[in-house]
Structure formats: C-alpha cells, structure tokens
Amino acid sequence: MYKKAEIIKNVELYKFGNPIKTDAVIISVDIEKFKLGNSIEGIELEKGDNSFKIKYNLDDSAKIYGLGEAVGSLNRRGKVYKTYATDDFDHTPGKEALYGAHPFLIIDNGTEKIGIFIDYSGEIIFDVAFSDKKILEIEISDLNFDMYIFKNSNYSEITKKYLELTGKSYVPPKWAFGYQQCRWSYPDSKTIKEVAGNFKKYDIPVDTIYMDIDYMKDFKVFTVDEGKFPDFKNFVKEIKDMGIKLIPIVDPGVKIESEYNVYEDGIENNYFCKNQNGEDFVAAVWPGKTHFPDFLNSKVRKWWGAQYKKLIDLGIEGFWNDMNEPAIFYTPEGLKKAFEKLNEISLKDDIGIYDMFALNEVMNSISNNRDDYKSFYHTLDNGEKILHDKVHNLFGFNMTRAASEGFDEINPDKRFLIFSRSSYAGMQRYGGIWYGDNKSWWEHILLSIKMAISVNLIGFLYSGADIGGFGENASAELLIRWSQAALFMPLYRNHSALGTRNQEPWAFDEGTREILREIIRIRYMFLPYIYSEYMKAINEKRGYINALFTKFNDENVYEIEDQFLVGENLMAAPIYEQNSTGRYVYLPETNWLQWNLSKEKLRDVKIIDKGYHYIKSKIEETAIFIKENSLVVIGEVQNFVGEKKEDSLTIIGFVEDRANYCYYNDDGVSKEYEKGEYIKIDIEIISKDNDYEIKISKEGNYKHNIREINFEIYNSKESWNKRIILK
C-alpha cells in the first residue's frame, strides 16, 4: 500500500502512490531506504477509488492541535476542517478553510504525542472527532500523497522535527517588528504624507505605511500610478527620511492589456497557467481579466521574482503578497453560465421561491468556484501538465517563494519584508503570513490569539492579524484592546477596509490617541526582547508565541486558549471582551511578577501566587506576567527601528534564587548573522544571602554597541536597581 522510510530520527515517511513533489519538505530520502508496508499501528487505512481515508481512534482525553491558520478552538477536536486555500472575508466559527493550507496536526494521547503531516497540495478533509467523537478521520482527495508521522513526548520537539523537515523560518528585517500602519487605501502620495505627518505630529512611533491596491495603475501588478504618485522614487525617499518604509501590495493576476510589459513578457514566454485547450487561462480579479503566472514552474518563478526589482530600484524594501489562493472574482465561462441561468429564470412567466433560491445559488457560486480551479493547468519543470485543483495549495507558496528567491538574486545579503495571504507547509522558509480579512469583532481578537499560537506550532513565526479588524467598524475600545493583545505579535499592523471607520491612532478622540501612543511606545520599549526571542526561536526551531501546554507540565493549562507565552519567560493574557476591565488568568507552576503596563516609565508591578486569578486592567493597562526566576529585556523607545543607538538595555526580572537571560542581537538588516555576525549576551543573576551576583558573558562576532545594562529586579522581599557599564 505504501513505501516507508525513517527520514529523520522519530519521523517516518509513508509514501502512497506516486505523489508530485510539493517542495514542502527539504530533506530527500534515498530511494533505497524505502520499505513496503500495508498497515500502520493504531491507524486504519482505507483506499477508495479516488481518495484515501486515514482513521485514528482517540481516547476521551485526547487533544488535537494543529492545522495552522484555521477558525475555531485551539484544540481542534469537535469540528471539520479542510485544507483548500480559500479567500473568505467572513471568518465565522463554522468555516472549514481559510487562506493557508497547513495539513499538519498533533494528537496528544496523554504522554505520547503523534504528529501527522499529510504532504498533499489539493483538498484534504479533517473530520476531527466531529462525526464520531472518538475518531479522527482524514480524507485525502487523491491516492498519491506523502504522510509523515512524528513520534515524541514533547510539543516543542515535534515542532522542531517538523521544521527540520520543512525548513527554518523566515527572518524579516528588524524594522518589521515596529508599528505598521495600513489602510485600504491610502490612494496617493498626498494621503500617505499626511498619514506619515500625523505620526510625527502626534509623536507616535511607526516603521511602515502600506500601499494597498490603489497605488497601481489600473491594478496592474509591478506598476505605480504616476498620476497619484508623481516621482515615486523621490517620494519613497522622502518618506524613508522620516524613518518610514512604504510597503506595496503585490497580486498575482496579470492584467490582460497589450503593451503592458509584465503581460507581454508572460505571453511571449508562455509563463501563464493554461486552460484545457492549452490557451492562457483567464480569471477576473482586481485588474479585471487577468492571467495567472504559473508559479509551479521554476522559470516563471525566476521571472516573477525579478519583477520585484522594479519596485526595489525605487527604494522599496518590503512587500505583501495578496490574493494568491488564488482568489477569483469570476471567470468568463463561469459568468456566462451564470447569466444563462439568470436569463432562463428571468424569462419564466412566474418566478417562484425556488427560482429565487436558484438565483442566489448561481450568484454565490460565481467567485472562487471549485469548477474554475478544476479548469486550468500548471506545467512543471519536467514538462508534466498538472490540474490546478491538485496543487491548489501551492500557488501562494510558490508566489512567495518566487519573491524570496528573487530577493536573493537582487540583493542576496539584504533582508526584505515579505508576507503572504495564502501559504502551504514549508512556505515559512520564504516569508510570513497575515491572517487575512478579519473583522472588527471582539471575537476576532481571541481568534487572532489562537491563530498565532497555532501557526507558531508549524513555524509561521512572522505573522499577525489586522489589528482593529479589517472589515466592519472598530470602536475606540476595541482598537485599544486589540493593540494591547497584539503587543508582542511579530507583525504589528493596524489595517482596515475601504468603507469602514478609519482606525489610525488619531482617528478617535484625544484620550484614545494618547492610550494608543503609549501602547505603541511600549511595543518599541520591548523590541529588544521581541527581536531577541524571535531570533532565538528561529534558530532553535521552535515557536515564538507559544501555548502554555508547550512549556508547563500541568493538566490545567491544556484548556487555556487565551493566554500565551512570548518566548520563554513572559506570559500575556489580553483582554478581549467589550466593556471589560479585568479577566481571569491562570498562573502555572510558580509565583509570577505581574506588570501592569500603561506608560513606558511606569513600573506598576507586584508578585502574585500561582493559580487562578482575576486580574483587573483599566482601559489603558496591559497586564503581563514574568515567571519566577526569569528576566526580560527592554530598551529605549525609538520613533522607528534604528533611530537610536540601542546602546542601553534594561533587564527587568523576578529573581528569588537565580535567573538568566540570553539577549540576542544582530545588525537587523543583513543575513550576516548566519555567518556568526550576531551577539549573544548571557546575563545571569544569582541570589546570595542578602546580596546578588551578576554574571555577564558574550558570544558572537557582531560589534554591538551596548554601553550599559540597567537592572530592575524584584522578589518577594525587596526590589533593587543596578547599572553595569560595559567595557
């Protein structure tokens, strides 16, 4: 039934049929290592005519995590999910698929944990103990796929193995951890200057401003509308001189328009996806009718990657790849069929309610229609034609791969900001993701927390939700609480849709603006910690935002889906309910230091016992928690990353006995850190009688400029401060 090999220690590959290579996995196996097999212990295999079912019996207490970007509870048990990249702007609880397809999950049967990764790029349905509460059933819509089984007792170890298999996560430039401002749309340079000016006027730190679809000339990818953005290169520089980078959107659909060079290039070189007649496939998206580049082909990727140079040459250093499920508004064929049906109905003498329902069905099936995804083809490097539907989930993956590989060509040592809406397992190597078109719903703050935890389990570390919500209208309170909830998320971007209420920090009242300003300043204050923890997590192949159950051996933490660890030692427990000035928090294992953040300089801290608590936080307060015997690091607030020297660090900690912190830094912009150009400063504090010993050691070649380290240490008896000047 399958061929089997141990691919790395404790990870087995089961090869069913003859799957196409998705490139999710970076480790190849010697064909001679394979053995034939027919059954897998504990797993029922059921081969159908065109699909394959995998069944796994679950204990009553079994928990199931994974599936990356998905709506619902973190423990996936009790719902059906589907991996089929879907542009859906309505993330309601029942939705089975979103933009990303991450067919990986972890079954926790108590001590034993089993990871299952189905490397198949078409539709997979995961019935996670929904139809039958004791059975996990995975239905793969093909007979050809790879299945990897991970066995380990530890969540982090499974993530680590998974990342050994699928590749180390993407590292953005350090400025990508600053505050980012987006809107659909800031349509011209005048508006962007105003926005940038407001940040300066109100003294609010910011690192980027986004350019949504309207910056392009007629939505033509890799063009800039010169009418709205005259002398774009100079404009980019002007904004950059304020410390702000402009981040344009990039969509895959290439407008069908003669004399448009991307289109002409693509036609000339046969770079577009084909329909069954071998003609270029036509789908309408923002620019109207377009062709889709065939990203599965390496020549096309190379060509596409080189296109980014057009914008890079104008001073651009970051991009977001959108619409790459690929979203389809309609195809001419689909629309024709729909209109035929509409006409048929409209000509009836008496239109009845069932006609009406049919009408609705017709309309609802025009966009993102599965039949359209079944009507076009890719041409692989070996010349093989493959139906899009079978590799649907690889489209966004390969678009972003094209960008990433392009950057490597254009400027190999430079880090670019790149993140994508659609993704597949392994895409973490090339860029980050954002969670797509959420809404200004309180429920979506909580969802963004669960998503962050879940995508971190599979290496999508650079990620985040649109703060304040993309669709619908945000209240001031919602935006404040969301900005607090996202305080430690790598991608810290406020974004909102056309037609909704503005949600820049100054779009509300003055009081709200001041609170948001302080939150953003606190974000910058924590950048040394955020960056340090992020880079260590990347290098050690683990999550940066982590569920409590990945760290604490405590039955109570399994059901906690609204608290999370940032790195190793800091716990966040955001408020995500309207009109709330408090929430319940569980503190596992030890005592914790509670820190109510509200102003940069204010240390409103206290030690609280382990266990269940109700923690009050006024609208301007964000409570965070530092574990006993651990340290965090903060720095000076900057108006943008790199504004200041970053030469003074402050270590804040809760030390009863001993604690250490490894501070990581590098230049933040190049890839030299891969060659040893980084610094790790290991700081250890040991409590001795009524005194403390501080040990500081360093590793790495990066010429850091840290001049002094300040200490603010708390314990149950006292607090103390100390300043150490570094040689």
Q: Which residues are catalytic?
A: 322, 325, 437
Binding residue (CB under 8 A) for its own copies from 284, 449, 461, 679: 284
- Residues 308/403, Cβ–Cβ less than 8 Å: yes
Q: At closest approach, how far in Å is the CB of 332 from its own copies?
A: 8
110 in contact with its own copies (CB under 8 A): no
Q: Distance between CA atoms of 133 and 322, rounded to whole angstroms?
A: 37
Smaller CB separation from its own copies, 168 or 337: 337
* Chain centre distance of CA 219: 25
Residue 93 touches its own copies, criterion: CB under 8 A: yes
> Considering the complex, what minimum distance in angstroms separates the CB of residue 441 from its own copies?
4
Does residue 499 bind its own copies (CB under 8 A)?
no
544 binds its own copies (CB under 8 A): no
Is the bond leading into 248 cis (omega within 30 degrees of zero)? no
Tell me if 608 contacts its own copies by CB under 8 A: no
Indicate whether 37 belongs to the interface with its own copies (CB under 8 A): no
Residue 72 engages its own copies in binding (rule: CB under 8 A): yes
- Which residue of 21, 48, 112, 339 would you call a contact of its own copies, by CB under 8 A? 339
> Is 670:415 a contact under the CB 8 Å cutoff?
yes
When binding is defined by CB under 8 A, the residue of 17, 582, 642, 700 that contacts its own copies is 582
Binding of its own copies by 130 (CB under 8 A): yes
Closest CA to 702 of 725, 681, 723: 681
Closest distance of CB 604 from its own copies, Å: 20
Which stretches of 199-323 are assigned E, i.e. beta strand? 208-211, 245-250, 254-255, 274-275, 283-285, 288-291, 318-321
Nearest CB to its own copies, comparing residues 78 and 197: 78
Looking at the Cβ atoms of 296 and 587, the one nearer to its own copies is 587
Spell out the residues 6+ positions from residue 458 whose beta carbon is closer than 8 angstroms to its own: 66, 68, 102, 104, 159, 162, 166, 425, 428
Residues 6 or more apart whose CB falls under 8 angstroms from that of 727 comprise none
356 near its own copies (CB under 8 A): yes
Tokens of 463: 């990620």
Give the number of other CB atoms < 10 A from CB of residue 264.
13
Q: Using alpha carbons, select from 550, 485, 548 the residue that is nearest to residue 522.
A: 485
First-residue to last-residue Cα distance in the chain: 65
Q: Which helix (H) or strand (E) holds 303?
A: helix 298-312
Complex with its own copies: residue 443 or 672, whichever CB lies closer: 443
Does residue 472 touch its own copies according to CB under 8 A? yes
**Could you tell me how many residues make up the chain?**
727
Which residues, in sequence order, are CB contacts of 295 under 8 Å at separation 6+?
A: 252, 301, 304, 394, 395, 398, 399, 401, 402
- Between 339 and 720, name the residue whose CB sits nearer to its own copies: 339
Contacts of 50 (CB under 8 A, 6+ apart): 141, 142, 143
Contact between 145 and 19 (Cβ < 8 Å): yes
Nearer to its own copies, 52 or 508 (CB): 508
The residue within the footprint of its own copies, chosen from 144, 270, 411, 473 (CB under 8 A), is 473
Q: Binding its own copies by CB under 8 A: which of 478, 507, 570, 637? A: 478
Stretch that binds its own copies, among 354-362, 383-391, 620-628, 717-725 (CB under 8 A): 354-362
Question: Does position 724 bind its own copies by CB under 8 A?
Answer: no
For the record, the structure tokens of 65 come out as 């995590």
Q: What is the DSSP string of 230-246?
A: TTHHHHHHHHHTTT-EE
Binding flag, residue 162, its own copies (CB under 8 A): no
Output 20 or 221, the one with its CB closest to its own copies: 221
DSSP symbols for 493-532:
EE---TTSPP-STTSS-HHHHHHHHHHHHHHHHTHHHHHH
Indicate which single residue of 10, 51, 57, 73 sits in contact with its own copies (rule: CB under 8 A).
73
Per CB under 8 A, which region of 393-401, 564-572, 582-590, 698-706 contacts its own copies? 582-590
CB atoms within 10 A of CB 618: 12
Min separation Cβ 478 and its own copies, Å: 7
Q: Is 581 in the site for its own copies (CB under 8 A)?
A: yes
Should residue 288 be labelled a site residue for its own copies when binding is judged by CB under 8 A? Answer: yes
Nearer to its own copies by Cβ, of 261 and 360: the residue is 360
* Binding piece for its own copies, criterion CB under 8 A, among 15-23, 194-202, 220-228, 612-620: 612-620
User: Between residues 82 and 439, which has the closer beta carbon with respect to its own copies?
Assistant: 439
Q: Which of 160, 378, 439, 495 is in the footprint of its own copies by CB under 8 A? A: 439
CA atoms of 272 and 282, how far apart (whole Å): 10
Work out which of 285, 417, 530, 573 binds its own copies, going by CB under 8 A: 285
Indicate which single residue of 24, 249, 366, 497 sits in contact with its own copies (rule: CB under 8 A). 366
The yes or no reply on residue 580 touching its own copies (CB under 8 A) is yes
CA–CA separation, 32 and 277 (whole Å): 40
HSE on the CB side for 315, CA within 13 Å? 16
Out of 199, 330, 462, 564, the only residue in the binding site for its own copies (CB under 8 A) is 330
Element housing 161 (H / E) = helix 155-166
Of 269 and 578, the one with the shorter C-beta distance to its own copies is 578
Out of 1, 40, 143, 359, the residue judged to bind its own copies by CB under 8 A = 359
Binding its own copies by CB under 8 A: which of 81, 99, 286, 373? 286
Residue 705 binding its own copies, by CB under 8 A? no
Min dist. Cβ of residue 353 to its own copies (A): 6
Q: What residues are paired with 166 via a beta bridge?
A: none
CB of 63 to its own copies, least distance (A): 7
Residue 498 interacts with its own copies (CB under 8 A): yes or no: no
- Environment class of 510 (CB within 10 Å of its CB; exposed 0-12, middle 13-18, buried 19+): exposed
Token duo for residue 31:
């064909």
Task: Determine the angle formed by the axes of helices 442-456 and 476-485, rounding to 10 degrees.
Answer: 20
378 binds its own copies (CB under 8 A): no
Instruction: Identify the burial level of 580 via C-beta atoms within 10 angstroms of its C-beta, where 0-12 means exposed, 13-18 middle and 19 or more buried.
Output: middle
Residue in 1, 5, 306, 342 binding its own copies, rule: CB under 8 A: 342
Q: Is 305 helix (H, G, I), strand (E, B) or coil?
A: helix
Instruction: At 681, list the tokens.
Output: 């400063």
Angle value at C-alpha 486, between 482 and 490, nearest 5 degrees: 150
Q: Does the footprint of its own copies cover residue 351 (CB under 8 A)?
A: yes
Whole-number Å distance between alpha carbons of 253 and 128: 35
The window from 242-250, 269-277, 355-363, 707-715 that contacts its own copies (CB under 8 A) reads 355-363
With residues binned 3-state (H G I as helix, E B as strand, rest as coil), the percentages for the chain, rounded to 5, are 25, 30, 45
Closest to its own copies by CB, 3 or 481:
481
226 binds its own copies (CB under 8 A): no
Amino acid in position 531: Y
The correct pick among 512, 546, 596, 629 for binding its own copies (CB under 8 A) is: 512
Residue selected from 277, 579, 690, 716 as contacting its own copies according to rule CB under 8 A: 579
Position among 12, 88, 559, 656 found at the interface with its own copies (CB under 8 A): 559
The reply to whether 475 sits near its own copies by the rule CB under 8 A is: yes
Nearest distance from residue 64's CB to its own copies, in Å? 9
Judged by CB under 8 A, the number of residues near its own copies is 65
Binding site residues, its own copies, CB under 8 A: 63, 72-73, 75, 77-80, 90, 92-94, 130, 132-134, 284-286, 288-289, 329-330, 332, 335, 339, 342-343, 346, 350-353, 356, 359-360, 363, 366, 439-443, 472-473, 475-478, 508-509, 512, 559, 561, 577-582, 584, 586, 612-614
